[in-house]
Amino acid sequence: MLQKLVFFLSITFLWTQCTSEKKGNNTTNKLQNDLTMDHHSFGKPNEIATKHLALDLEVDFSSQKIKGKVSLTLENHGFTTLHLDTRNLNIQKVTLGEKEEKTVFTLEDTIPFLGQDLAIEVKPETNLVHVYYETTAGSDALQWLSAAQTSGKSLPYLFTQGQAILTRTWIPCQDSPGNRITYSARVKVPQELMVVMSADNPQAKNNTGIYAFEMKQPIPPYLIAMTIGNLAFKPLGERTGVYAEPEMLEKSAYEFVDMEKMLIAAENLYGKYLWGRYDVIVLPPSFPFGGMENPKLTFATPTIITGDRSLTSLVAHELAHSWSGNLVTNATWNDFWLNEGFTVYFERRIMESLYGADYAEMLALLGYQDLKATIESLGQDSADTHLFLALKGRDADDGMNDIAYEKGYLMLRTIESIIGRSKFDAFLKEYFHSHAFQSIDTKTFIDYFYSKIPKATLGDFTLEAWIYAPGIPAGHYENKSKKFALIDKKVEAFIKNDDIRKWDTKSWTTHEWLHFIRNLPKDLDQEKMKNLDLVFNFSDSGNAEILDVWFELAIYNGYIHSIEDKLEAFLVSVGRRKFLTPLYKGLKETNQLELAKKIYNKARPNYHSVATHTMDELLGYK
Ligand code: BES
Ligand code: ZN
């Protein structure tokens, strides 16, 4: 409580300081009104904006440090202090201009979640600043993997994760999604390794260990990303391809065979792809997310490589972010739904266009189940179920749940059903086109929407009811799936002791299995659990999504003794937070905290900070 109060006071203080500072010319107030206030950044781009970021880095695997400098090109509106975001960085020296004259800097006090404001003295005419720095063990964006933690087992690996506010833990910058920058980089690594970034990329290793990158389109800093490892590349289509460790390359290429088709389908829906190439890199299993839409190079979990191409909607999702998110970006993390809601809608349209409406409806229904469960757990009236979030003073990560994704999707699907698909598609295409390479807030979206689609044409529907109020508004669209209706019957039959050995399940897809397992009750007797496992072999499924829901069911049904070893193996090898959370939570809720901790102690060294933060809190480690 005290900590919260102190935090609130310091933010209020910072804000007052920011509005009362009158160092510059008298356009200050106007400029300040032009950009949305981001409560998760110390940067004041209204005063001095960073426009280009040039990295010159050396990566040292033995000390697990990145060392070097970042040079920032400035647009200075006549101010004398540049504010950058940093967290757990070691700042060594700051210089100005081509001549690199030394200047004074202050690292302000640490603010929870945000890190430290790096305040640098500049001249009103300064347009270039160089910060010399190195990362530390607290640089949470980075996950350093030992050779043993990779597929090849012979070389180390490093990847970064920037979203939401982690880029500042490896690069001093104005780390706000409202401030777009172009970037370039020169990265030196041990010769056996290759570097790729969210930029134009090499397709083969060179023998110097030095790699150069360029991102010419202006992007928010959370999209700066890098992976270093023993990497290989395989093209999939004219503009698409896949990177992975050599051991994973063929399997990955098989899985993503339709990537070029997805790209074409996406362009046919909402306009030209403006980023040049679209490649995916398959990371080691500790990657804490399913996917991350780093521009030109999506980062993906290997848990979607199932051998049957059944989890590729994740690629459609990350690809869709090339429009929603990367082209039109949420201005602050309160507007996160603008990124994810549109992306889920777009993802399902891509899947529909490749694999048909039945397929997309299954995805939508699974999403709707997630949405209902999330609202239930947050509370029907919780302000965290509004699309527009209030994350001031909180970790930006707190708002990253199914509300943005699935409530956002459901609202857009509802609009589609009211105004018709062709009108909605025309609106979306124009929306992406007219806001390309801009960061916008929720209010800007609302005004734009009503300017194109008058309120009077929408019946009882209002954006406000979805965006600024809790729960799911009445009159929302209802997805239906014939395939799932059949599965519902199977669930009933199973409960009534139907002989599952006689079922013909050959045609069931992953999504039907997920629907089946998720809808089984939590009080099945041991005989039934055993029978399920025997007949359907869930515990040995090669599909992580199925394993995850099966293990969860087993935990709640007291079937843990039979799956404990496999559960442990899963939790030790996979670091995807979406899978970890329900399993550790299940163990905790069923009074098996000791077992949860025993497994967690073994698994924790394999997890990225994003996952350990959540699990530490869940299991009472902090
Ligand atoms: N941008 C997100 C991942 C993310 C969100 C990282 C918030 C950090 C903070 C990405 O596009 C995403 O949504 N990934 C999902 C998969 C998707 C198919 C729903 C995931 O990781 O599970
Ligand atoms: Zn997403």
pLDDT, tens digit (0-9, with 9 covering 90-100), for 480-509: 999 999 999 999 999 999 999 999 999 999
Per CATH, domain 232-306 is 3.30.2010.30: yes
Verify cis geometry, omega within 30 degrees of 0, for the bond prior to 164.
Answer: yes
Residue 120's H or E segment, with its range, is strand 116-121
CA-to-CA distance for 598 and 577, rounded, in angstroms? 18
Select from 1.10.390.10, 1.10.300.10, 3.40.50.2020, 3.40.50.300 the CATH code of 328-467.
1.10.390.10
Ligand number nearest to the C-alpha of 544: 1
Atom of ligand 1 at shortest range from CA of 321: 11
Structure tokens at 132: 């010399």
Q: Quickly state the pLDDT bin for 34 (edges 50, 70, 90).
A: low
Residue type, 577: R
For residue 321 and ligand 1, the question of a CB distance below 6 A is answered with: yes
Atom of ligand 1 at shortest range from CA of 317: 18
Fold of 2-230: Immunoglobulin-like (2.60.40)
Ligand number nearest to the C-alpha of 341: 2
The widest CA-to-CA distance across the chain, in whole angstroms, is 80
Q: Give the residue from 340, 214, 227, 216 showing the smallest Cα distance to 280.
A: 227
For 423-474, write each residue's pLDDT tens digit.
999 999 999 999 999 999 999 999 999 999 999 999 999 999 999 999 999 9
- Residues 169-173 have a mean pLDDT of 99
CA-to-CA distance for 400 and 412, rounded, in angstroms? 19
Ligand number nearest to the C-alpha of 313: 1
In this structure, which residue's CA is closest to atom 15 in ligand 1?
290
In this structure, which residue's CA is closest to atom 11 in ligand 1?
292
Where exactly does CATH 1.25.40.320 map onto the chain? 483-619
- The yes-or-no verdict on residue 8 having pLDDT over 60 is no
Where exactly does CATH 1.10.390.10 map onto the chain? 328-467
Cα-trace Rg, the chain: 25
CA-to-CA distance for 198 and 223, rounded, in angstroms? 7
Q: Which of 21-30, 364-373, 549-558 has the lowest mean pLDDT?
A: 21-30
Q: Is 577 helix (H, G, I), strand (E, B) or coil?
A: helix
Residue 271 CA to ligand 2 center (angstroms) comes to 19
Phi, psi of 610 (to 5 degrees): -55, -40
- Residues 181-202 have a mean pLDDT of 98
Ligand number nearest to the C-alpha of 348: 1
pLDDT at 18: 38
Atom of ligand 1 at shortest range from CA of 163: 8
In this structure, which residue's CA is closest to atom 3 in ligand 1?
292
Select from 3.50.50.60, 2.40.50.140, 1.10.10.10, 1.25.40.320 the CATH code of 483-619.
1.25.40.320
Q: Give the residue from 384, 377, 379 showing the smallest Cα distance to 403.
A: 384
For residue 545 and ligand 1, the question of a CB distance below 6 A is answered with: no
Atom of ligand 1 at shortest range from CA of 400: 7
- Residues 210-231 have a mean pLDDT of 98
**Active-site positions?**
318, 405
Q: Quickly state the pLDDT bin for 32 (edges 50, 70, 90).
A: very low
In this structure, which residue's CA is closest to atom 17 in ligand 1?
314
- The yes-or-no verdict on residue 29 having pLDDT over 80 is no
Residue 610 CA to ligand 2 center (angstroms) comes to 16
Where exactly does CATH 2.60.40.1730 map onto the chain? 2-230
For residue 290 and ligand 1, the question of a CB distance below 6 A is answered with: yes
In this structure, which residue's CA is closest to atom 10 in ligand 1?
292
For residue 45 and ligand 1, the question of a CB distance below 6 A is answered with: no
Residue 356 CA to ligand 1 center (angstroms) comes to 24
Q: Give the residue from 200, 169, 162, 179 showing the smallest Cα distance to 52.
A: 179
Residue 342 CA to ligand 2 center (angstroms) comes to 9
Residue carrying the six token digits 């039109």: 328
- Residues 341-369 have a mean pLDDT of 98
- The yes-or-no verdict on residue 342 having pLDDT over 70 is yes
- Describe the strand order of the beta sheet including 65-76 as a list of residue ranges: 101-102, 89-96, 128-135, 65-76, 48-60, 181-188, 210-219
CA-to-CA distance for 460 and 384, rounded, in angstroms? 24
For 508-550, write each residue's pLDDT tens digit.
999 999 999 999 999 999 999 999 999 999 999 999 999 999 9
- The yes-or-no verdict on residue 558 having pLDDT over 70 is yes
C-alpha distances out from residue 372 to 281, 366, 402, 519, Å: 32, 10, 9, 13
pLDDT at 2: 40
Where exactly does CATH 3.30.2010.30 map onto the chain? 232-306
pLDDT at 553: 98
Q: Quickly state the pLDDT bin for 76 (edges 50, 70, 90).
A: very high
Residue 441 CA to ligand 2 center (angstroms) comes to 17
pLDDT at 77: 96
For residue 291 and ligand 1, the question of a CB distance below 6 A is answered with: yes
DSSP 173: B
For residue 578 and ligand 1, the question of a CB distance below 6 A is answered with: yes
Residue 347 CA to ligand 1 center (angstroms) comes to 12
For residue 293 and ligand 1, the question of a CB distance below 6 A is answered with: yes
For residue 577 and ligand 1, the question of a CB distance below 6 A is answered with: no
For residue 318 and ligand 1, the question of a CB distance below 6 A is answered with: yes
In this structure, which residue's CA is closest to atom 14 in ligand 1?
291
pLDDT at 36: 78
Residue 102 CA to ligand 1 center (angstroms) comes to 41
- Residues 108-117 have a mean pLDDT of 97
When the pLDDT of each residue in the chain is averaged and rounded to a whole number, the result is 95
CA-to-CA distance for 158 and 144, rounded, in angstroms? 5
Kindly tell me the burial class for residue 470, based on how many C-beta atoms sit within 10 Å of its own C-beta (0-12, 13-18, 19 or more): middle
For residue 145 and ligand 1, the question of a CB distance below 6 A is answered with: no
For residue 141 and ligand 1, the question of a CB distance below 6 A is answered with: no
pLDDT at 622: 79
